[in-house]
A = this chain, B = another copy of it.
């Protein structure tokens, strides 16, 4: 079955690659229209998914994440309309020139082809990924969380109606409906058809893809992010940034997980931190050198376990470690970080420069919250994933990351000397 889906997606991708921006926007507008006009079937499927999820004892928070209603569907449709307004990178000439040989050459931006996306149980992601792929002339094979397979199937059916209405093959956007996990493994080996694989989910999924996939994979989304509080920063400013980075949205991958505090200010800063974190409802996990001073404040504090430096909390929990200085902080980040987002809070220019140059992460910040690592915040207009690997795309991936380039050579019966 997947073999057929792959072949259909590849065939569709050849057609999509030739569309103008206007033609692609026409499809997107049609999708937005149909999502609203044909919401009944999607909502019915979603109710069935929700009923099953309830039976399976999913938490209320999880159920809320799965649930659709007319207002949410309208918001999803509006997001598709927003994608129409984004600049289309396809067709852009990156560079080029006339070579000594007489060959005129250019690098032209083209779609990747077929993109495979494996994602969590979030119904909006189906539409989100489909619209970004179509905008960049790519076909997509989607495998969403098994808890929402009926919703995804109904949504993709609507998208396929819109595609066909515009004279395009339904194979351009396909969902793997069967929730069997074995199909994920099969998908990871479809290198004949899928050009890029984007896993969106936990560390386990990323590991599985890295180990098993024969398709080039973009791994990312796991953020063990750090803030180093240097000795020259004012406490009030530092605490404002730390609260933003930890408490604004603890479940986001760009939230801070570990605070590294310069030993010179530890004695005075840690009690202030404890007070602020108590107000923000943050539980602190402290190393030996931070424990006593943090416990002198009102925050909930417990000793940190070594392995907690390596994992995301995704909750109102924060590690606090006293470091001897910048070198120590950089060494800790290199050892425990996931190359996502790390920040230094400092007034010392040379330390800011060293941090920026020596911390090897997708995003490094000086006196700013790690929460900025986001396609929307970075002005990319959209985000298909956050890459923490170094090939192809790093950090927030916008439309450009869904393209590659080809070299086009124009000769006049030109041969190599």
Would B18 and A415 count as touching, CB distance under 8 A? Answer: no
Is A195 interfacial (CB-CB < 8 Å)? yes
Flag whether A356 is at the interface (Cβ < 8 A): yes
CB pair A378–B414 under 8 Å, yes or no, is no
C-beta contact mask, A40-70 vs B, less than 8 Å → 1, else 0? 0000000000000000000000000000000
Q: How far is the CB of A104 from chain B (nearest CB, A)?
A: 9
Partner of A378, one of B105, B217, B362, B415: B105
> 8 Å CB contacts to B: which residues of A369-392?
369, 371-373, 377-379, 389-392
A22 within 8 A of B: no
Residue numbers in B under 8 Å from A413 (CB-CB)? 237, 240-241, 345, 367-368
Nearest-neighbor residue (CB-CB) of A219 within chain B: B216
Asked whether A17 lies within 8 Å of B407 as measured between CB atoms, the reply is no
Task: Give the contacting residue for A191; candidates B99, B210, B356; CB below 8 A.
Answer: B210
| B357 engages A416 (CB within 8 Å) | no
**Which residues of the other chain, B, contact A391 by a CB distance below 8 angstroms?**
112, 195-196, 216, 218, 391-392, 404
In the assembled complex, A118 has its CB within 8 A of some CB on chain B: no
* Interface contact B112-A379, CB-CB below 8 Å: no
Q: Are B97 and A379 in contact (CB under 8 A)?
A: yes
A144 close to chain B: CB less than 8 A: no
Nearest chain B CB to A326 CB, angstrom units: 14
Instruction: Give the docked Cα–Cα distance between A213 and B364 (Å).
Output: 29
A392 with B392: in contact, given A362-B407, A369-B415, A371-B415 (CB under 8 Å)?
A: yes
Selected contact of A406 from candidates B195, B363, B369, CB within 8 Å: B363
Counting chain B CB atoms within 10 Å of each CB, which of A14, A248, A414 scores highest?
A: A414
On whether A410 and B366 interact (CB within 8 A), knowing A372-B101, A378-B105, A379-B99, the answer reads yes
A30 within 8 A of B: no
Select which of B113, B368, B411 is within 8 A of A415 by beta carbon.
B368
Contact of A407 with B390 in the complex, beta carbons under 8 Å: no
- A 88-113 binary contact with B (CB < 8 Å = 1; else 0): 00000000010101010100001011
Which residue from B211, B367, B406, B411 sits with its C-beta under 8 Å from A368?
B411
A414 CB, min distance to chain B CBs, angstroms: 4
Q: When chains A and B are docked, how far (Å) is the Cα of A404 from the Cα of B361?
A: 11
User: Is A358 interfacial (CB-CB < 8 Å)?
Assistant: yes
Report the copy number of this chain in the oligomer.
Answer: 2
Q: Is A412 an interface residue (CB 8 A)?
A: yes
* Chain A 217-256 residues near chain B, CB threshold 8 A: 217-218, 237, 240-241, 244-245, 248
Q: Which single residue of chain B is at the shortest CB-CB distance from A242?
A: B415
Report how far A262 CA is from B260 CA in the complex, Å.
69
| Neighbouring B residues of A149 by C-beta, 8 Å | none
Q: Does A394 contact B (CB under 8 A)?
A: yes
A248 engages B416 (CB within 8 Å): yes
CA distance A214 to B389 in the complex (A): 12
A406 to chain B, nearest CB (A): 6
Interchain CB contact under 8 A, A103 and B368: yes
CB atoms of B392 and A14 under 8 A apart? no
Instruction: Pick from B112, B371, B415: contact of A244, CB below 8 A.
Output: B415
Chain B neighbourhood of A364, CB < 8 A: 406-409
C-alpha spacing A17/B356, complex, angstroms = 12
Distance, CA A370 to CA B23, complexed state (A): 33
Q: Within the assembled complex, what's the spacing in Å between the Cα atoms of A218 and B396?
A: 22
Does any Cβ of B come within 8 Å of A360's Cβ?
yes
Chain B residues whose C-beta falls within 8 Å of the C-beta of A345 in the assembled complex: 413
> B411 contacts A365, CB within 8 Å?
yes
> In this assembly, does A34 line the interface, its C-beta being within 8 Å of a C-beta of chain B?
no
Known interface pairs A366-B408, A395-B407; 7 further A-B residue pairs with C-beta atoms within 8 A, sorted by A's residue number: A17-B357, A191-B210, A241-B415, A356-B408, A364-B406, A365-B410, A368-B409
